[in-house]
Structure 1
Amino acid sequence: MTDKWSGMENQKRKGFFSPLLLILGAHAFMGIQAAHHQHEVQFTVVGTGNSILDLTMVDFVDDIQVFFYDKQNSQLMAKEAWISQVLGAKFMEKTQQKLVDHEKSFLWFLKKLRQNDTKSDNNITLQVSIVCELQRDNDIGNQIKIAVDGEDFCWLDEIGQWFFIISETDSFKPTLMSTFWVNQKDYYMKEYCYGIMKKILQHSSRKKNVPPEVTVLYHETVNGIILLSCSATGFYPSAILLHWQKGGGIIVAGKESSSSTLPNADGTFYQRIIIELLPGDTGTNYDCVVDHIELGEPKVFPVPEKPLKKRTWTVTLSILGVVILVLSCVVSFIYWKKINTGYIIHENAIMEDIQMDIQEH
């Protein structure tokens, strides 16, 4: 699924958007005890101008899936039992029926797309994404994005303004910009996307926000290649941005690689970026900049100074010298002991011989 999606089109009929956002709302839930949370519902529809072949819906809060639905089994599934319990059986049944009803609205959209297309039997992939966000329990914006066959089609920004990308969107403008559709969109964003999210907050066991623990390392390979590594771990939620800078703001050049944001066993997240410096670059005056909601402003973590090889060799030679000195002392002591012991034995033997001679005479 691309991320070019958007909530959408329903018009005077049952408002494609009403049911659409009904789901959205249903999924806005999942605990929101943290300072910032994002709720996103994604629809993927495959069909022609005459029929819907496949319809799936996934619902996320902070990148954690909480709902799933597909046309094949027509069953709305909550990822955890407590979600269904909090929202109630009546809500789940109503939402599932709305999802079934969505097929008519999506089919209307596909037909409208193909109304001037002679190849109406070709499959079309429609993607719709609906997003709303909370910042410390305040509504800070929502968006709707629509994509067709992987390409941006149109989107609604946070202030309620539509942007139409291609000419095919012209026939949808009257519907998407109508007062009826705007009212429907506002209602469902408020009641479901935000409303249910706040309701679930009271029952969620989701962890609170946690700032990242950052480690910056300098490493020089045996081939003389300098690598700088910046790791952030233990943070929540997963949204984070890491980048390198040099001299307080210059975007650095080099071969950079980055891991995706990965989950830790405790429900927090991890990410790392590595940069291979250009030949001749000593790696001085570099910083890793980390931007996460719990850090407030982006925080700068400097690269540690290059380790001094001479100091390392000095320490190594010192240790080796001490070891040699100790071994020498031990060997000397053993040798002395043997010599001393042998002398005493020899002296005793001589005394015994003298005594025996005296007795014989």
Structure 2
Amino acid sequence: MTDKWNGMESQRRKGPFSPLLLILGAQAFMGIQAAHHKHEVQFTVVGTGNSLLDLTMVDFVDDMQVFLYDKQNSQLMAKEAWISQVLGAKFREKTQQKLIDHEKSFLWFLKKLRLNDTNSDKNITLQLFVVCEPQRDSDIGNQIKIAVDGEDFCWLDEIGQWFFMMPEAESFKPILMSTFWANQKAYYMQEYCYGIMKKILQHSSRKKNVPPEVTVLYREAVDGIIVLSCSATGFYPSCILLHWQKGRDIIAAGKQSSSSTLPNADGTFYQRIIIELPPGDPGTNYDCVVDHIELGTPKVFPVPGKPPKKRTWTVTLSILGVVIFVLSCAMSFIQWKKTNTGYSIHECATMEDIQMDIQEH
């Protein structure tokens, strides 16, 4: 995968072979339009121009794995038992058989790719990603991407336009842009996406979007360097962007670090970014900007002002120790005086009595 591809998070790959590739890559949920959901399928194929060595498929709804298929055992396995129960044994058997049939389609692709290559026994790695997302107008948005040996091969954008990045991809252009393939794609989007994904989302506990809870902290390190942190937690789905800005400028200076998006125990997610400011920077006028679908537009969270300095526990305990020591000495002195002057510890001596005793001594 190229870096450009990895950076285009919402775009995935898909191929022109047979309609089921679109079935498994599709996603929708007519009855749950209030939330934003995404379904993606990832195929990885290894083979030559003469044989298919390996085929794996992983299917996700939002960030939840739904299915896994492996050519070695030719079994379509649901990640959790309730998924099989919701979709039924008939669906599983039908889909599993079609995946087995698709091995022929992938092999056809590899043969066509190596048609003019004399080294037809060289291994090829094909990656096919599909993303489908229901739009607010009840339409289904989808993106398809294909890579060969880690290089972008071709992709279909959200408006249905194909882009071909390698010369070898041109030979697939008539198939990918044919009316027949477009009709088959649209049919399976409607036939499988809405029905299957609707069932999964209705039975899944992760069907409601949740906005992030954001905390921004200011900390001064021992060496005087200012460290700012911004954490977002409890959000769903997992897609989120966090960055620093000062005024209206995005911050590029300073030592920055970021955690990956991590899961919480309740199915929501967590992410944190940290910036260590350059020496001399007081850390004023900084903001953490958070972009998540449930926030609508990116929201700005200001960094709190520099907190007032507080005495450390060491200083506090030292002062308390001195006070206790002084009081103990004073009490010991008073008791000693009373004992030596004949006063009872329970009697109250006047200042006159004490002065007379001092003069006598």
Query: What's the TM-score once normalised by structure 2's chain length?
Result: 0.85
Q: Matched residue of 1:56: which SS?
A: strand
Q: Matched residue of 2:38: which SS?
A: strand
| 1:6 alignment partner in structure 2 | 13
Corresponding letter in the other structure for 2:268: T
Is 1:102 the equivalent of 2:102? yes
Judge conservation of contact 1:34–1:207 (CA < 8 Å) in 2.
Answer: no
Give the deviation of 1:340 after TM superposition. Answer: 2.0
Corresponding letter in the other structure for 1:22: I
Corresponding letter in the other structure for 2:210: V
CA 1:318 to 1:55, structure 2 compared with 1: closer, same or farther past 3 Å? closer
| 2:296 alignment partner in structure 1 | 296
Q: Matched residue of 2:93: which SS?
A: helix
Corresponding letter in the other structure for 2:13: S
| 2:201 alignment partner in structure 1 | 201
Q: Matched residue of 1:155: which SS?
A: strand
Any residues of structure 2 matched to 1:162-173 within 5 Å, and which?
Answer: 162-173=162-173
Is 1:331 the equivalent of 2:332? no
Q: State the alpha-carbon separation in 1 of the partners of residues 312 and 96 from structure 2.
A: 72
The unaligned stretches of length 5 or more in structure 1 are 11-15, 347-361
| 2:84 alignment partner in structure 1 | 84
Q: Deviations over 1:222-260 (max 9, x none)?
A: 223222111111211111100000013444422211111
Give the deviation of 1:121 after TM superposition. Answer: 0.5
Any residues of structure 2 matched to 1:265-276 within 5 Å, and which?
Answer: 265-276=265-276
CA 1:56 to 1:330, structure 2 compared with 1: closer, same or farther past 3 Å? same
| 1:118 alignment partner in structure 2 | 118
Q: Deviations over 1:93-113 (max 9, x none)?
A: 000001001100001111110
Q: State the alpha-carbon separation in 2 of the partners of residues 135 and 337 from structure 1.
A: 87
Corresponding letter in the other structure for 2:88: G
| 1:354 alignment partner in structure 2 | none
Q: Matched residue of 1:37: which SS?
A: coil
Q: State the alpha-carbon separation in 2 of the partners of residues 106 and 128 from structure 1.
A: 10
Is 1:213 the equivalent of 2:213? yes
Give the deviation of 1:221 after TM superposition. Answer: 2.2
Q: State the alpha-carbon separation in 2 of the partners of residues 46 and 207 from structure 1.
A: 35
Q: Deviations over 1:122-165 (max 9, x none)?
A: 00011111111135694451111111111111111111111111
Corresponding letter in the other structure for 2:109: F
Corresponding letter in the other structure for 1:74: S
Any residues of structure 2 matched to 1:345-356 within 5 Å, and which?
Answer: none
Give the deviation of 1:345 after TM superposition. Answer: 7.6
CA 1:207 to 1:337, structure 2 compared with 1: closer, same or farther past 3 Å? farther
Q: State the alpha-carbon separation in 2 of the partners of residues 315 and 153 from structure 1.
A: 62
Q: State the alpha-carbon separation in 2 of the partners of residues 272 and 136 from structure 1.
A: 30
Judge conservation of contact 2:28–2:37 (CA < 8 Å) in 1.
Answer: no
**Off by >4 Å, runs of 4+ in structure 1:** 1-5, 31-34, 313-323
Q: Which has the higher contact order (CA 8 A, sep 6+)?
A: 1
| 1:242 alignment partner in structure 2 | 242
Give the deviation of 1:284 after TM superposition. Answer: 1.1
Judge conservation of contact 2:25–2:132 (CA < 8 Å) in 1.
Answer: no
Number of residue pairs the alignment of both structures matches? 337
CA 1:253 to 1:194, structure 2 compared with 1: closer, same or farther past 3 Å? farther
Any residues of structure 2 matched to 1:1-361 within 5 Å, and which?
Answer: 5-10=12-17, 16=18, 18-25=19-26, 35-134=35-134, 138-139=138-139, 141-206=141-206, 208-309=208-309, 312-313=310-311, 324-325=322-323, 327-344=325-342
Q: State the alpha-carbon separation in 2 of the partners of residues 66 and 105 from structure 1.
A: 23
Q: Matched residue of 1:191: which SS?
A: helix
Deviates more, 1:207-216 or 1:266-275: 207-216
Give the deviation of 1:202 after TM superposition. Answer: 2.3
Q: Matched residue of 2:203: which SS?
A: coil
Corresponding letter in the other structure for 2:208: K
Judge conservation of contact 1:236–1:268 (CA < 8 Å) in 2.
Answer: yes
CA 1:124 to 1:157, structure 2 compared with 1: closer, same or farther past 3 Å? same
User: CA RMSD for the aligned pairs?
Assistant: 2.7
Q: Matched residue of 1:307: which SS?
A: coil
Q: Matched residue of 2:128: which SS?
A: strand
